[in-house]
Amino acid sequence: MAVDATSNVYQTSLDERFTFIRQAGKGTYGTTWIALDKETNSKVAIKAINKTTTNRTSFKKELKYSKHLSKHPHIIKTHDTAFETKTCYVMVQDYATGGDLFDAIEPEVGLDASKARVYFGQIADALEFMHSKKLVHRDLKPENVVLGDSEGSYIKLIDFGMTLRTGTHVSRVCGSIPYTPPEICNAKDEVGFFVEPSCDVWSAGVLLFCMLTGSFPWEQATLSDPNFADFVQWQTGKGRVPHMWRSFSPQLLELFSKLLALDPKDRCKINAVHKYLSEPWYNTELYPSNTHYSQTCYEVDQFMDSYKASPSQCGLSLLPQFGGSHFQSAAVACS
C-alpha cells in the first residue's frame, strides 16, 4: 500500500505498482533501481533502504528532508508516496537519465572546465538552499550528484540519508573519506562534533578539485597524509604551491583557499562560489618554482617541527585508489 510521505509507511508488494528494469546502484545502506511506474507509465528511481541498516524513524526523517527539499530545481524530486516491504523501506524519486557525476568524470583528466563551472554553480545553489533551511547534506560526492538529462545539461543533488540539522551533535565518528573536513577526521569518538554548513563547503572544495582533475587532492585530510600535509604547508605560508595545484589560476586558487580553509570558522559560505564562476580557472603556463600562495590559518608549527612532508608529484586517481569503477561507499560519521 502506498501512503502520503507525511503519514505512516505500510507494507506492500512493489511489483503491484512497478516493473523493475535494472539496478542503478548499490551502497552500504541499500539499492537504487530504475523502474516503470504502472500508474503513470513513466520511469522512476526506486531507492530501497535495507531494514538491517536503517530503522523506520531514520527512514522517515530522510523522506521528510527529501520531500522538503524537492522544490529546488537542482535537487532531485521525491514523490509523495512511500512503501515498505518485508526487508526494505522504499521511496520513489524522479529518474535522472544522465547517470551520476562520478561516471561523467574522466579519471586523471576531469571534466571540461565550462561544464564544471555550470555543474559547480548548480551544486552551490542546491547547497545554499539546504543551508538556508538549516540543513547540512554531509555526504557530498560525485555519486550523490546526478545529471538530469542525457545531454548532461544540468545536475540534481541526491541522497539525504546523512542530512542533519545545523548544530546537531554527532557523538560517534565512524570513518573518513577524501571529502571529509579535517575537524571531523580528527574528531575523537568521546567528544564527537557539531554539524555545520562548513562541512559541506569543504566537501564542495574537494569535489571541485576532483571535477577538474579526475583525481583526489588527498586520501584524507589528516597530517599523516603527505598530500594534505603539503597543502597545509602551502596554506600556512610555509611551502610552495603543490605541483598538482599549479595549473589553476590565482583566482581559482583563491576560491580553493576559501572553500578549504583549515579552520572551519574561516571557510566561506557556499554562495561565495558565484563570484568566481566567470573568472579564469587555469593558467596558460605553470607557476614559477618560487611562487608562494599563502593564507593565514591556524598554526601547525608543533607538527611541522617534527614532520617533513614529501613533495607531491601527482594526484590520487579516482579509480585505482578505491578499486573498480566506483568509489567504495563510506559513511562520514554516525549519530
Q: Would you say 326 and 143 are in contact if contact means Cβ atoms under 8 Å apart?
A: yes
Bridge-based pairing state of the strands 169-170 and 193-194? antiparallel
| Cell digits of residue 68 | 522538503
Residue type, 278: S
- Extract long-range pairs of 231-234: CB within 8 Å, 24+ residues apart: 231/260, 232/262, 232/300, 232/309, 233/304, 233/309, 234/292, 234/293, 234/294
Q: Would you say 289 and 298 are in contact if contact means Cβ atoms under 8 Å apart?
A: no
Residues 111 and 211: their CA atoms lie apart, in Å, by 6
What does the pLDDT look like over 261-298, one tens digit per residue?
999 999 999 999 999 999 999 985 334 444 444 333 33
Bridge-based pairing state of the strands 193-194 and 88-94? unpaired
Mean pLDDT, residues 154-163: 96
Q: What is the pLDDT of residue 308?
A: 34
Q: What is the pLDDT of residue 315?
A: 44
pLDDT band with cut points at 50, 70 and 90 for residue 9:
low
12-16, 54-58, 107-111, 296-300, range with the lowest pLDDT: 296-300
39-43, 69-73, 242-246, 315-319, range with the lowest pLDDT: 315-319
Percent of the chain with pLDDT over 90: 72
Point out the catalytic residue in the list 94, 100, 125, 139. 139
What does the pLDDT look like over 47-70, one tens digit per residue?
999 999 999 999 999 999 999 999
Residues 304 and 222: their CA atoms lie apart, in Å, by 13
Rg (CA), the chain: 21
Higher-confidence residue: 222 or 1?
A: 222
- Taking each helix axis as running N to C, give the angle between helix 197-213 and helix 113-132, from 0 to 180 degrees, rounded to the nearest 10: 170
First to last CA, the chain: 31
| Cell digits of residue 131 | 543551508
The CATH label, of 3.40.50.300, 3.90.930.12, 3.30.70.100, 3.30.200.20, for the domain at 3-94 is 3.30.200.20
Give, in degrees to the nearest 5, the angle at Cα 328 between 326 and 333: 135
pLDDT band with cut points at 50, 70 and 90 for residue 316:
low
| Domains of the chain by residue range | 3-94, 101-317
Active site residue 139: yes
pLDDT band with cut points at 50, 70 and 90 for residue 13:
confident
pTM of the predicted structure, to 2 decimals: 0.83
* Fold match, 3-94 / 101-317: no
User: What DSSP assignment string belongs to 121-147?
Assistant: HHHHHHHHHHHHTTEE----SGGGEEE
Residues 7 and 315: their CA atoms lie apart, in Å, by 48
The CATH class, in words, for 101-317 is mainly alpha
What does the pLDDT look like over 183-198, one tens digit per residue?
999 988 778 999 999 9
